[in-house]
Amino acid sequence: MNGIARILRKRWLLYFLLCSPIFYVCTPQIQYDTEFRADPAKYLLDYVGLAATYIFAIVISITPLRRIFPKSGIVNSLAYHRRPMGVSVFVYAFLHFLIYYFYTGSWAEFVKDWEKLFILSGILAFAFLFLMAATSNNRMVRRLGARYWKRLHRLAYPVLFLIIYHQAAQEKTGFRETALIFVPVLALQFWRLVLASKAFLARRNDSANGAE
Amino acid sequence: MNIRKSKPWNLPESAATSEGDYLNRRKFLKAVGLGSSSLMGGSIARAATAGFPSTKNENYLSEELEPTDFELIAGYNNFYEFSYDKGEVQKLANQDWKTEPWTIEIAGHVDNPMKIDVNDLVKKIGGVEQRVYRFRCVEAWSMVIPWDGFELSALIDLAQPNSKAKFLKFTTFYDPDSAPGQKGGSIDWPYVEGLTLEEAQNELAFLATGIYGKPIPNQNGAPIRLVVPWKYGFKSIKSIVKIEFTSKQPMNTWQALQPREYGFYANVNPKVDHPRWSQASERIIGSGFFSKRQETLMFNGYEEQVAHLYKDLDLRRFY
């Protein structure tokens, strides 16, 4: 394991990085951000939503990165942190959900918005993230059994598409921001599928040859 | 005897804040490290349309309307010619972009077409006045802004449209070298907006050259912009270089971009939602995290003045 990978493995560093978006909005500097002053609820809503999105984009890319770079120490350190990172996606999504309540200003407005596909996609993604976070500890893994647990946590893929839609629907023109984050993510997933089908074909060829 | 009846949106002079806001603004600029010679301060000093004292129009002041802080009006801007990021516009619009001198062209079906310097235009009109208007963005937020300028109808009188003129087509500047946002993106520059002639002749339709008695900052649409307070903010086109009187309805930029979401009329209407969010209420800029939303008013509170323009129009279809 090289030096960077070893440092990346430190839990305290991970927790620091995962909390750093919160530290930033707590600095007095934020007072001079006109967008924050103009509408703090809107600012924080976008801010924590984006934090959840970025961390999610990293977590969902860990498996393809492991397949593509199986020997990379950095990727393995990242994989080591997968669970706390996943939970932090839920935490930021929860803050996003909570702030959205304040942004709408009342329970009635809040619920009324759910009929909009844009909002519904976010609510659904949040519900799935909740299920995954609630079953993220060892006890739940044991209780569900590895197979069902794994199946349940494949919810990450519907969440991926819900987040892409949710993020894109929030942009007023074009999909620049969404593309910037998710084109690389989808490219990694695609590459992983290519590798998997190659391995599958190779295995089939092997067994076909063996039968001769 | 002429007794002026107070209308619902009328409010007293005391409502048009000024001193405190200016002081705050300086403090704010100092705090973020912008000397008065750099950003807005500098542009105001050499801006076009300086030197026209503004008198408050008592008909358009309002007690119930509390003007938004100047620093927020000047720092929270949708101006995609510079950036998609509302907080970045102020900086970018004050770098390379020159708003002085500025010529505006009046063309199309008029008896008196002209190309005129914006200062000469203000002189010709006879100076500016201040009106406090609500400003409602299609993104469901709102401000209250003391604009300085003149009624659009005064310019129409000057242009003398003929019988073929049915619409006004407004065009913004096009200068990708100084407006980085115009270099690309999904928008077909320059930005275009339109009104019917009847709408343009309404007493509320206004051309603004200032805010809070000072020349309008670059990021707010220097040196001259449209203000149509009963419509969503995107109709109030900024930094106008051309006003053309046309016989056909102009295709406005947002309608061209997303016709399902933005129409030609774009009247503020709490009953017709944007496909992605509700228009029933709005967030008040500068009111803080925990503040409740404000209910959005039909025609943004100017129903009495403009409702007659749309009495035969299905507002659900013609949003």
pLDDT score, position B20: 47
Weakest-pLDDT range from A138-152, A192-206, B46-60, B176-190: B46-60
pLDDT tens-digit map of A24-39: 889 888 888 899 999 9
Task: Report chain B residues whose CB lies below 8 A from the CB of A109.
Answer: 278, 280-281, 293
Asked if the Cβ–Cβ distance from B286 to A37 is below 8 Å, we say yes
Is residue B285 within 8 angstroms of chain A, CB to CB?
yes
pLDDT tens-digit map of A39-97: 999 999 999 999 999 999 999 999 999 999 988 888 999 999 999 999 999 999 999 99
Q: % helix / strand / coil in chain A, to the nearest 5? A: 85, 0, 15
Is residue A114 within 8 angstroms of chain B, CB to CB?
no
Weakest-pLDDT range from A157-161, B31-35, B96-100, B155-159: B31-35
> pLDDT confidence of B52, banded at 50, 70, 90?
confident
Asked if the Cβ–Cβ distance from B80 to A173 is below 8 Å, we say yes
Pick from A105, A112, A118: CB nearest B276: A118
- Chain B residue nearest residue A120, CA to CA: B276
What is the interface size between A and B, counted as CB pairs within 8 Å?
79
**Interface probe, candidates A111, A172, A175, A180, chain B, greatest B C-beta count within 10 A:** A172
Angle CA B81–B84–B88, to nearest 5: 90
State the average pLDDT over residues B174-198: 93
State the average pLDDT over residues B70-95: 94
Task: Report chain A residues whose CB lies below 8 A from the CB of B73.
Answer: none
pLDDT tens-digit map of A171-212: 877 788 899 999 999 999 999 999 989 988 988 888 777 654
Distant-in-sequence, close-in-space partners of B139: CB < 8 Å, separation ≥ 6: A172, B78, B277
What letter does residue B274 receive in the DSSP assignment?
B
Q: How many residues would you count in chain A?
A: 212
Could you tell me which of B319, B274, B318, B84 has the C-alpha nearest to residue B187?
B84
Asked if the Cβ–Cβ distance from B290 to A44 is below 8 Å, we say no
Tokens linked to B286: 């500068």
Q: Which residues in B93-239 belong to E strands, given as ranges? A: 103-108, 114-117, 128-137, 141-151, 167-172, 192-196, 206-211, 214-215, 225-227
Is residue A29 within 8 angstroms of chain B, CB to CB?
no
Give the whole-angstrom CA distance, residue B304 versus residue B83: 36
Contact B272, B260 (CB under 8 A): no
Give the whole-angstrom CA distance, residue A136 versus residue A82: 11
* Confidence check: pLDDT of B19 > 60: no
Is residue B166 within 8 angstroms of chain A, CB to CB?
no
| Min distance B308 CA to chain A CA atoms (Å) | 30
- Chain B residue nearest residue A177, CA to CA: B84
Weakest-pLDDT range from A171-175, B220-224, B245-249, B256-260: A171-175
State the average pLDDT over residues B19-39: 42
Is residue A44 within 8 angstroms of chain B, CB to CB?
yes
**What integer best gives the mean pLDDT of chain B?**
86
Is residue B289 within 8 angstroms of chain A, CB to CB?
yes
Asked if the Cβ–Cβ distance from B86 to A38 is below 8 Å, we say yes
Could you tell me which of A69, A85, A77, A64 has the C-alpha nearest to residue A3?
A77
* Confidence check: pLDDT of B184 > 50: yes
Pick from A34, A103, A104: CB nearest B75: A34
**Interface probe, candidates B135, B145, B276, chain A, greatest A C-beta count within 10 A:** B276
> pLDDT confidence of B40, banded at 50, 70, 90?
very low
- Chain A residue nearest residue B69, CA to CA: A38
What letter does residue B85 receive in the DSSP assignment?
S
Asked if the Cβ–Cβ distance from A40 to B288 is below 8 Å, we say yes
Pick from A34, A39, A172: CB nearest B71: A34
> pLDDT confidence of A4, banded at 50, 70, 90?
confident
Asked if the Cβ–Cβ distance from A35 to B87 is below 8 Å, we say yes
pLDDT score, position A171: 85
Is residue B256 within 8 angstroms of chain A, CB to CB?
no
Task: Report chain B residues whose CB lies below 8 A from the CB of A35.
Answer: 76, 85-87
* Confidence check: pLDDT of B36 > 80: no
Could you tell me which of B224, B238, B236, B245 has the C-alpha nearest to residue B103?
B224
Q: Which residues in chain A belong to E strands, given as ranges? A: none
Asked if the Cβ–Cβ distance from A173 to B187 is below 8 Å, we say yes
Give the whole-angstrom CA distance, residue A39 versus residue B12: 27
Pick from B72, B139, B292: CB nearest A106: B292
| Min distance A176 CA to chain B CA atoms (Å) | 9
Q: What domains are there in chain B, each with its CATH number?
A: 13-310 (3.90.420.10)
Asked if the Cβ–Cβ distance from A34 to B72 is below 8 Å, we say yes
Question: What is the sign of the dihedral through the CA atoms of A6, A9, A11 and A16?
Answer: positive
State the average pLDDT over residues B42-67: 70
* Confidence check: pLDDT of B153 > 80: yes
* Confidence check: pLDDT of B146 > 70: yes
Give the whole-angstrom CA distance, residue B114 versus residue B101: 16
pLDDT score, position B46: 44
Asked if the Cβ–Cβ distance from A39 to B141 is below 8 Å, we say yes
pLDDT score, position A28: 87
Asked if the Cβ–Cβ distance from A34 to B291 is below 8 Å, we say no
* Confidence check: pLDDT of B12 > 80: no
Could you tell me which of B133, B150, B151 has the C-alpha nearest to residue B60?
B133
Asked if the Cβ–Cβ distance from B141 to A42 is below 8 Å, we say yes
> pLDDT confidence of B157, banded at 50, 70, 90?
very high
Is residue B90 within 8 angstroms of chain A, CB to CB?
yes
pLDDT tens-digit map of B210-243: 999 999 999 999 999 999 999 999 999 999 999 9
H helix or E strand, kind and range, residue B295? strand B294-295
> pLDDT confidence of B50, banded at 50, 70, 90?
low
Give the whole-angstrom CA distance, residue B17 versus residue A3: 60
State the average pLDDT over residues A126-152: 93
Per cent of chain B over pLDDT 90 is 71
